Structure 1
Amino acid sequence: MSLNESVQEELEVLEAILMDDITISYDEKNRPEIVKTTIFPSTADEVDKQYVCVTLEVNLPETYPDCEPSVQLKNPRGLDESTINNIQKAIKDKCMEFLGQPVIYELIELIRESLTESNLPTCQCAVCLYGFSEGDIFTKTTCFHYFHSYCLANHLVITKRLFQEEQDKLPAWQKSVKEFQASCPVCRESISCDVEELKSALPPKDLESAQHFQVTSDLKKLQEDMRQLFIYQKNKGGIIDIEAEENKLLLITAGDGDSVEVS
């Protein structure tokens, strides 16, 4: 079997197994060039328990499999840098082990096993900035970002209140006809959440055990210094008072010498 035939057979097997979950790009000579697939942990049929994922992109040189393919991990979700680095090292070792043989299926299985072992977000909650500990109740959005359910509930309650307050300030003709739409705090994609259910979750363990914030004497001194600086800059004209500017009158001089005040 020629090398081209072995590569073609590998790709046909991958398409048969992964079907629509894999894309293969070909160059102008109809040679397979890039293989791309998003990999999730093995959770049987419980898709809602797939908390991490990553996209594998394999660039095939003309002499593949006699040389290593170029491998990239893109769009990791729920994985920190150290986990990604460990997977990349394992990929490098696997490519060397299979030099001269098709390796893409092996890479997919290697990554899937790694994700299954790490199927708990190793990133931080973007709301409280604490990580996820065993026993924490967390939510995965449809855009694969992760938050403690308790933190996400607080964020959505506050953003909805702020939205309503801004709407209440506007005249009727300027108010939005759309109701408040919850969005992901990270990427701003629209999300659908049951806020009442999220509110029933307990606070994350790290947040509960965190040292209570206290205003120290050093912080009080810094606040006073900043207050004095603000007053100084305002007196020098370095800070614009928005409300005062809005109440200023604009003086328009007509061609006949008459002047008209416009607020």
Structure 2
Amino acid sequence: MTSVVDERVTDEVEALVAILMDDVIIRRVGNVPTVIETVVNPLTGEDIDQQYVCVTLVVQLTPNYPDTSPDVVLRNPRGLDDDLIASIHSQIKIKLADCLGQPVVFELIDLIRENLTECNLPSGQCVICLFGFEAGDVFIKTQCYHHFHSHCLANHLISGKKYYKEEMDKLPNWQQVEAPPYQPCCPVCRCVLSFDADTLKKAPPPVGSINAAPFRVTPEMLALQRKMSLLLARQIRRGGVVGSSSPGPRPLTITTAADAVTNGSSQASQEGKSEVADGQLPGNASNAGSEPGSPQGQGYRGPYRGFNRRG
């Protein structure tokens, strides 16, 4: 964009600042406006709490704007599915073509706001229960514009606080004193929340969970079980063994088929005796100090517990 600003652009920027005030950001290079950014919300009168969706409109002004179309980007959509975003993009392209030669930012804001007002309900699923939002559901919008069933969010907050307390009880007293206090967080973006779990708990469960059909094992699940059984059998044949003799997290035991046959067998014992009788140490004792799997190779023939989380 040249150093001389088009009067049409100047008038548009001044009008945007006068109407939107702090809700619009104007980025400049010198005295030349280059980017206009604002968050667009649905029309809900004065009730901001009823705004369940939003999107950030970023208009990058081209050097010859408004005689050429600006570059338009939609960022950080909240509560909007991909189909609606694609539909808005298509409408923006048509609007840019129709308004070529005149300022278009106000037109774009109105277009997006109309779409958001018509679809002022969260789309997709509640990430806690994985049920969608239906008529009759009681849901809540967080400060970060994520949506959950009120009942589900209450369970999430209660479970999070319970888990925090259990982990704190495991710590010594001096660490408990220095530990930060519990803060409920959004399960999507970890933003700190300020909701009362007991109040949210009074909301009914999601309609989808009440009307959902009882769980049944489908043919697809049975096929997956058979596939996993075959994979486990193949792992065992190739020498992979998962330890299960002791409680707690299972260690990863890596052996070979030869180890399973020779270790502890009578044949290995007899071979060891014959080697000693011939004046040779079993397992090539000269390499006994080498690490398992080293090129010299035969100092250790037992299982290698390289990922034992119990130490």
TM-score of the aligned structures, taking structure 2 as reference length: 0.71
For 1:222 and 1:161, the matched residues in 2 are separated by 37
1:23-34 equivalences under 5 Å are: 23-28=25-30, 30-34=31-35
Q: State how 1:41-120 maps to structure 2 within 5 Å.
A: 41-120=42-121
| Partner residue in 1 for 2:261 | none
Q: Shift in Å at residue 222 of structure 1?
A: 7.1
Answer whether contact 1:36 1:58 (CA < 8 A) is retained: yes
Distance 1:224 1:215, change over 3 A: farther
Partner Cα distance (1:18, 1:135) in 2: 35
Percent of residue pairs identical: 46
Residues 19 and 233 of structure 1, relative CA distance in 2, 3 Å threshold? same
Give the 3 Å change call, closer, same or farther, for CA 215–157 of structure 1 in structure 2. farther
Partner residue in 1 for 2:185? 183
Partner of 1:201: 203
Q: State the Cα deviation string for residues 71-95 of structure 1 (Å, max 9, x = none).
A: 0000111111111111111111111
Decide which moves more: 153-162 or 181-190.
153-162
Deviation of residue 224 (structure 1)? 6.9
SS of the aligned residue for 2:46 comes to coil
**C-alpha separation between the residues in 2 aligned to 1:171 and 1:221?**
46
Q: CA deviation at 1:5?
A: 0.7
Per-residue CA deviation, residues 185-229 of structure 1 (Å, 9 max, x unaligned), is 001011011101111111112222223335678377678778886
Aligned-residue CA RMSD (Å): 2.4
Task: Compare relative contact order (CA 8 Å, sep 6+) and give the higher one, 1 or 2.
Answer: 1
Find the counterpart in structure 1 of residue 242 from structure 2. 233
The aligned length equals: 242
Q: Distance in 2 between matches of 1:120 and 1:33?
A: 33
Counterpart in 1 of 2:157?
156
Distance 1:36 1:157, change over 3 A: same
Give the unaligned 5+ runs of structure 2. Answer: 244-252, 255-303
AA at the equivalent of 1:155: H
Matched, 1:128 2:195: no
1:233 touches 1:239 (CA, 8 Å); kept in 2?
no
> Distance between the aligned counterparts of 1:99 and 1:16, measured in 2?
24
Q: How far, CA to CA, are the matches of 1:223 and 1:153 in structure 2?
A: 36
Q: CA deviation at 1:130?
A: 2.2
**What one-letter code is carried by the residue in structure 2 that aligns with 1:242?**
R
Q: 2:186 touches 2:193 (CA, 8 Å); kept in 1?
A: yes
Cα distance in 2, alignment partners of residues 168 and 222 from structure 1? 42
CA distance in 1 between partners of 2:194 and 2:232 (Å): 42
Comparing 40-49 with 177-186, greater Cα deviation is found at: 177-186
Cα distance, 1:238 vs structure 2? 5.3
Q: Given that residues 3 and 65 in structure 1 are in contact (C-alpha distance below 8 angstroms), is that contact kept between their aligned partners in structure 2?
A: no
Answering whether residue 21 of structure 2 is matched by residue 19 of structure 1, we say yes
* Distance of 2:226 and 2:196 partners within structure 1: 43
Residues 164, 238 of structure 1: alpha-carbon distance in 2 compared, 3 angstrom cutoff: same
Query: Residue 5 of structure 2 contacts residue 32 of structure 2 at CA under 8 Å; is this kept in 1?
Result: no
Q: Which amino acid aligns with 1:119?
A: N
Deviations 1:87-126 (A, max 9, x none): 1111111111111111100111111111111100113211
Point out 4+ residue stretches in structure 1 off by more than 4 angstroms.
Answer: 214-217, 219-231
| Separation (CA, whole Å) in 2 of partners of 1:222 and 1:210 | 28
Match of 2:257 in 1: none
- TM-score, length of structure 1 as denominator length: 0.84
Higher gyration radius (CA) = 2
Q: Determine whether 1:242 maps to 2:306.
A: no
- What is the one-letter code of the residue matched to 1:39? V
Give the unaligned 5+ runs of structure 1. Answer: 246-263
Distance 1:227 1:164 in 2: 38
Contact 1:57 1:73 survives alignment (8 Å): yes
CA contact (8 A) 1:136 1:205 kept: yes
User: How far is 1:151 from its partner?
Assistant: 1.1
